[in-house]
Amino acid sequence: MDVRLFKPSLGKEEIDSIQKVFDISWLGLGEKVLDFEKKWSKHINIGHSIALNSATAALHLSLALFKFENGKKVMMPSMTFASTATAALYNNLKPVFVDCCEKSLTMDIEDLKRKWTSDCVAIIPVHYGGEPCDMEAIMAFAKIKNMKVIEDCAHTQGGFYKGKPLGSWGDIGCFSFEEKKGMTTGDGGMACSNDKELLEPLKSMRWVGIDKDTWRRNKTKSENNERHWYYEISLLGYKYNMNNLAAAVGLAQLKKLNKFNKHKSKMIQLYLEGIKNIDGIEPLLPYSLINNDRSSYWLFGVRCKKRDELIKFLTSLGISTGVHFTPLNMQPFFSQYSGETPVASEVYKHMCTLPLHMELTVEEVDYVVSALRSFSLKHF
Ligand SMILES: *Cc1c(COP(=O)(O)O)cnc(C)c1O
């Protein structure tokens, strides 16, 4: 057996969709990107979306929109991927690491309040693994302290919390279509908001600051406009756009997204059922939305006091594992920024990510569960 940790699910639909882009011979930013933005907004129920080449770019530009003064601080969990923090640094802002709740691994609101200082200008909550943050409490606190909120939705694609889509609670929600995430465009990301005007500058910021990208200029050319080549640059931009090829894959994946989410939920339920009576193995997360048909989880994992031995054992049986994540403040580069997060550092020692993806089979889950059982019988 060779059980993969993550695996994108790609088929004929994606190839056919790419073929259409070949047929029109327009691979860059173009109509497929705009179509994908519209369909994505509709699917996840958020008013407007701008497609980018990654969630990292989406987080970077979303923060940039607010033009915060250099040196101000952005509050974020330490239990996250590097991009959450690099987004602050790209904008000359400093990350402040907030601890996580012992169970949900999402931001601990009490610690958020404790770590707040008057130079904090924004919060980036992360819906860790697809487990939603307590957005009601975060939004209430952000309002009192006049902070902006950018949701890092890289681990969820279409998840709801208290009847409201994840990504629509804060000012902006940033999604990822990196190949290991819940649906993919190879690499890709989306910045979403119900505030159309807020997102508007992103159209030029993703295209080196040019107010009309080549696609839009090309359209005016066909209208017989002799000044079709004209554009203006009035702000600092980046080359962060999504292209037609990626969007074509995204359009095909989007049609399967509900199916993907449902399949992963079913596999998580099988795992949870399977490990219920295994000593020394606990589920990584509460999976509080698992019975909700709008859940969108990315990670399945367990907690085990003998984590390193477990990983070695599973590897010997062809089962891929991972650890998501080393708390950022334990990384050499990020240790210079403030915020002790003892809960994250403790939980981290025992966490182990297990295979979960759109093509994982019942047999594979059974195989992993029986491996966990044999490990437990030997060690606990
Ligand atoms: C994967 C990930 C990102 C970055 O996504 P990209 O699309 O690869 O840039 C950001 N935040 C979190 C929490 C992630 O896991």
| 244-292: pLDDT as tens digits | 999 999 999 999 999 999 999 999 999 999 999 999 999 999 999 998 8
In the structure encoding, which two tokens stand for residue 299, read together?
Answer: 């990670």
Question: Contacts for 90-94 with beta carbons within 8 Å, 24 or more apart?
Answer: 90/60, 90/63, 90/64, 91/60, 91/63, 91/64, 93/63, 93/68, 93/121, 93/122, 94/337, 94/338
Adjacent-strand bridge partners of 229: none
Distances (CA, A) of 281 to 41, 285, 376: 39, 12, 7
8 A C-beta contact, residue 345 and residue 327: yes
**How much distance in Å is there from the Cα of 274 to the middle of ligand 1?**
30
pLDDT tens for 126-136 read 999 999 999 99
Q: What is the CA radius of gyration of the chain?
A: 21
CATH architecture of 12-254: 3-Layer(aba) Sandwich (3.40)
CA of 329 from ligand 1 middle (Å) equals 17
Q: Assign residue 146 a region (left: φ > 0; alpha: ψ between -120 and 50; beta: otherwise).
A: left
Give residues with Cβ within 8 angstroms of 1, minimum separation 6. Answer: 317, 318, 319, 364, 367
Give me 349's structure tokens: 């020692």
Classified by CATH at the fold level, domain 257-379 comes out as: Aspartate Aminotransferase, domain 1 (3.90.1150)
Rounded to an integer, what distance in angstroms lies between the CA atom of residue 61 and that of residue 203? 10
Please report which helix (H) or strand (E) contains residue 303, including its range: strand 300-303
| Cα(342) to centroid(ligand 1), Å | 23
What's the angle, vertex CA 154, arms to CA 128 and CA 64, rounded to 5? 115
Domain boundaries, the chain: 12-254, 257-379
* Distance of CA 370 from the midpoint of ligand 1 (Å): 32
Nearest 5°: phi and psi at 337? -100, 155
Q: How far is the CA of 30 from the centre of ligand 1 (A)?
A: 24
- To test the ligand 1 pocket, which listed residue (127, 152, 190) has its Cβ within 8 A of the most ligand atoms? 152
- What end-to-end distance do the CA atoms of the chain give, in Å? 25
pLDDT for the residue 228: 81
Q: What is the pLDDT of residue 222?
A: 67
Alpha helices, H only, the chain: 12-24, 31-44, 55-64, 82-90, 109-115, 135-144, 196-199, 202-205, 214-221, 244-254, 257-275, 307-316, 342-348, 362-379
Nearest CA to ligand 1 atom 2: 154
Helix axes of 31-44 and 244-254: crossing angle, nearest 10 degrees: 30
Equal CATH topology for 12-254 and 257-379: no
Pocket of ligand 1 (CB under 6 A): 54-56, 80-81, 83-84, 126, 152, 154-155, 176, 178, 189
CB 108 within 8 Å of CB 101:
yes
Q: What does the alpha-carbon distance between residue 215 and residue 222 come to, in Å, rounded to a whole number?
A: 11
300: left (phi over 0), alpha (psi -120 to 50) or beta: beta
Does residue 299 contact residue 130 with C-beta atoms inside 8 Å? yes
Cis peptide before 325 (omega within 30 of 0): yes
Q: Which of 60, 76, 84, 127 to mutate to test the pocket of ligand 1 (most atoms within 8 A of CB)?
A: 84
Rounded CA separation 64/74 (Å): 12
- The stretches in the chain having pLDDT less than 70 are 221-223
Residues 183, 191: Cα–Cα separation, whole Å: 16
Specify the DSSP element, H or E, that contains 301.
Answer: strand 300-303
